[in-house]
A and B are shown apart, each in its own frame.
Chain A
């Protein structure tokens, strides 16, 4: 094709170990062309872009085969920096802007226009002074060219509406000299409709100026609106490249999903009895505030005993649904479980109602990596259902004491302790001061010896970091200043009993019985507490033998490959970690199970085992399962029905063998009108 293409990928193949993620992909982009890149998650879009930007992850894992041409010259991009130098720019989905800087400063970040000066001539160009007016002019020009004519280039980014930040990002890329290729990474995800429209116009005008645009998106309608050419990737392979005029929504959708043969991931045993059709879970107008996976009004029903799949593209909210219902992210809406309303935002309550969840973030949320397998397995069951605990005290079967009695006993013990302390202080003041003084005098005689011994210790505990003047320091000084205290007070005990006043008599009573009071108060409190604990069974320890027995069984049942139940989970492989997660969930004996991305990041064998386990649970224990997965193939192979989530809503519910195009359309948020939806 020669130099007429600004960018050309030729037969790109990329492997991570044995896993081929890009297989012989070729692609070419002309100057001024808007080239849309479509594909599901894991289709290879990101890897292709990583190759383009020379990300370290590519080079660290053995590079790739195939060639990249820029302006007809074969290049190997070694680093993102290198990419920048070669004229490749990226508009990030997450804004790479500094909030406290003005727009100008952000646009010119690390590319400041500077004056030379005598100091910088000697000490390097980092000390060149910035030329703000020139920078401002450039920023103005860049902003104007992205259609932000009314935006003040001196405004701080901090106060800008989210949509504007996107345009500042674009302006920054445009401002880079020699930019030839600009990658837009899901740019419309955070924009309002009108902003998205404006963005399309801006993209058009940028393209008209001769810059090639690669537009990564999953919104099919946007592709049709703005792109010239569209390339669809599927499972790391090139599915098709089409001119936009020659294609249609339906075609793109089915290209994107495209069934890869009929090989099923697992064998699906038939059900012994047909589903009853009763509703297990009903979610109505569910909103979940999970960053990046917002759910915005999803409604769906799950039938008892079925495996209900939830699919959709990343960032569309499918992962938010189980997290919201479980309560790990703020949620609102109505959810009913087996006909009863389920409280939202209360994890403990949800768990104790028999809902369990296998988290998509295995290492982050699913496991305690630095604890043993057995501790991980029983943790939730122990905390939620108080299982695998044994009482430190024998259990007493009795009704708990009434509130009045309880408070009375507590109050009494407090009073007794207070009385004890009061008496103690009286008692000691009255009787023991003389003893203290005597002891002190005796001590003083031995002072030299004591100080001699204490020397070593005093030295190193002296505080090290203060320059304040202490009134006087050191134990020795304290000893010198101490003078024997003359015993002046007349002690109560030395008075004859009949000369005591009534007040002194009371004092003496308290003083004499101080220890009795104190002991009685403390013992009473301790006894009361112990009794309550014995009734509630609340002072408990881990039941090691019970835990071990369960763990052994789980390790056997789920085929967890480990050295023993005491092995730390962090040292297991991904697949085995996932099995530990499943074991933990099973230990909860759930009635309703959410499974979120259960096969992410585990190898193919483990994947199969995990899915088979889920099917077995469903068939044998009649467990209702909701499985959230990015892999449509998986959903199709084990689910009874599949809901597709797009834009935080359920776009459609399908039979597992539904039409590719319908599912593809639903994924990009277009509810199919034809039949096929259930």
Chain B
């Protein structure tokens, strides 16, 4: 029996990664057309990735839990913006401002996420459209909050935030780099390193951890064996396999990092990155979320996410509380989205009060799909790859518009089209792959007791 069905078919691989490959080709074609310098692209890209990666990673949990792309991350972002507004009002500057906002985001976004999850549990099978419309709906409430409630019902002391002293609510644009309460770069500016240094540090950390886990792998079974005194040699065989398996899975990552460091030694390459300065704290936050996504999957909770994502019926029969599991996934995703939005805003330094959150669901969703994820499967790697590819296009598209069609607007329209198009394509492909199978209630027809279900 084939262990994990890993026999490699090029054709299948091509089909499964059609979206990603198309995008790679598109990007490769677009870069020369834009006539932009690589240094500029890399510079732009670095800031965009550090801004957006967290948001994209926030999408993974709901996908794994079988709820598709959670477009309702906009609601998490709204929570973050409420928190940020209060922080600005209290005039807490810099890192402490961001930290305060982040702390306040947790209850706010958590509560919103709870409501979202409750609603999505009533729309099983329609979560994506549901979360999208929910995002629109919440946007209406958000506008009422910022136009009417803040300023008129809840006084805003900081006059910089309002027009006409709050009579018409919060102003359209909030400058986060103004006055004593500036929070711009609250995270980014804590520790910045040139690209090279950051790369070395990252490689070092990754290799170090890989080594640690390797040792761990061979150590644990030994201990276990003495403890449980398993007599059968079957177990040993299994452990051997597992080390080889882990090694096979981890080696490529190690090689990529080592190769990256090696390539960076070439001066021409290094030159292209000279403008890039990596905001290390933000990068660490992103890495931590990635790590969280991996580790959570190794826990009992993660196993529940996966089980519920693959079959709600079976998970239910095994005694897993399906609705609760889905709720947890959405709450976590919403909180992460809130933090992601804070990272985004502090990096940008400006907050479009009524627009900053609107499209993040769309762009993050499109990005993760571009990276090769589907609406039922997503990994950190796909999220990061998607982030890179998608934002390369974002950087170059307006320039391509100018150079080829004489108008930047074409490029901008094109990238909006690409965002929607990628999602539509992913949905269509998913639909075609899983042609509807109508499960019939044969059990009932046969008069045999239905599968035992846990009582609610």
Contacts and interface: CB of A to CB of B under 8 A. Distances in A.
Interface of A: 41-42, 45-46, 49-50, 53, 55-56, 78-81, 83-84, 90, 92-94, 96-102, 105, 109-110, 112, 114, 120, 125-134, 136-137, 140-141, 144, 151-156, 158-160, 185-186, 216, 291-293, 314-315, 319, 360, 464-471, 630
B448 A128 contact: no
A81 B299 contact: no
A155 B314 CA distance: 18
Interface in B385-421: 409, 412-413, 416
Given A96-B318, A154-B241, A156-B5, A120 B299 contact: yes
A155 B242 contact: no
Given A93-B443, A94-B443, A101-B306, A110 B298 contact: no
Contact of B300 (A49, A112, A152): A112
B126 interface: no
Contacts of B359: 465-467
A42 B447 contact: yes
B416 A53 contact: no
A519 to B, nearest CB: 40
Given A133-B238, A292-B440, A465-B139, A55 B310 contact: no
A362 to B, nearest CB: 12
B319 A84 contact: yes
A50 B300 contact: no
B446 A41 contact: yes
Q: Which 7 A-B pairs have the closest CB atoms?
A: A80-B452, A292-B442, A79-B455, A314-B446, A126-B301, A110-B318, A41-B447
Contacts of A97: 314
B441 to A, nearest CB: 9
B3 interface: yes
A46 B448 CA distance: 5
A64 B132 CA distance: 48
B96 interface: no
Contact of B307 (A41, A109, A127): A109
B44 interface: no
A79 B304 CA distance: 21
Interface in B222-257: 224, 228, 230, 232, 234-235, 238-239, 241-242
9 contacts: A46-B447, A79-B454, A96-B318, A109-B320, A110-B319, A131-B224, A155-B3, A159-B1, A466-B416
B448 A110 contact: no
Contacts of B313: 96
B449 interface: yes
A101 B1 CA distance: 15
B449 A46 contact: yes
A92 B451 contact: yes
Contact of A154 (B3, B230, B298): B3
A153 B136 contact: no
B299 A130 contact: yes
Contacts of A101: 306-307, 310
Contact of A130 (B221, B230, B234, B300): B300
A78 B455 contact: yes
Nearest to B230: A137
Nearest to B241: A154
A97 B314 CA distance: 6
B271 interface: no
Contacts of A156: 4-5
B72 to A, nearest CB: 14
A464 B300 contact: no
Contact of B453 (A56, A136, A630): A56
B1 A133 contact: no
B429 interface: no
B213 interface: no
A56 B449 CA distance: 11
B307 A110 contact: yes
B352 interface: yes
Nearest to A159: B5
Interface in B76-109: none
A469 B303 contact: no
B442 A152 contact: no
B315 A55 contact: no
Given A114-B299, A159-B1, A314 B447 contact: yes
A467 B360 CA distance: 10
A468 B412 CA distance: 7
B449 A110 contact: no
A78 B307 CA distance: 25
Contact of B446 (A81, A158, A315, A467): A315
Contact of A83 (B314, B358, B452): B452
A102 B358 CA distance: 40
Contacts of B358: 465-467
B299 A127 contact: yes
Contacts of A155: 1-4
Given A100-B310, A129-B298, A134 B228 contact: yes
Most buried by A among B2, B220, B358, B450: B450
Contacts of B242: 132-133
B355 interface: yes
Most buried by A among B238, B443, B449: B449
A45 B447 CA distance: 9
B265 interface: no
Nearest to A124: B301
Given A49-B449, A109-B307, A152 B298 contact: no
B139 A464 contact: yes
Given A53-B452, A96-B451, A133 B3 contact: no
B38 interface: no
B173 interface: no
A130 B303 contact: yes
B310 A134 contact: no
A314 B300 CA distance: 39
Given A80-B453, A93-B448, A128 B4 contact: no
Contacts of B310: 98-101
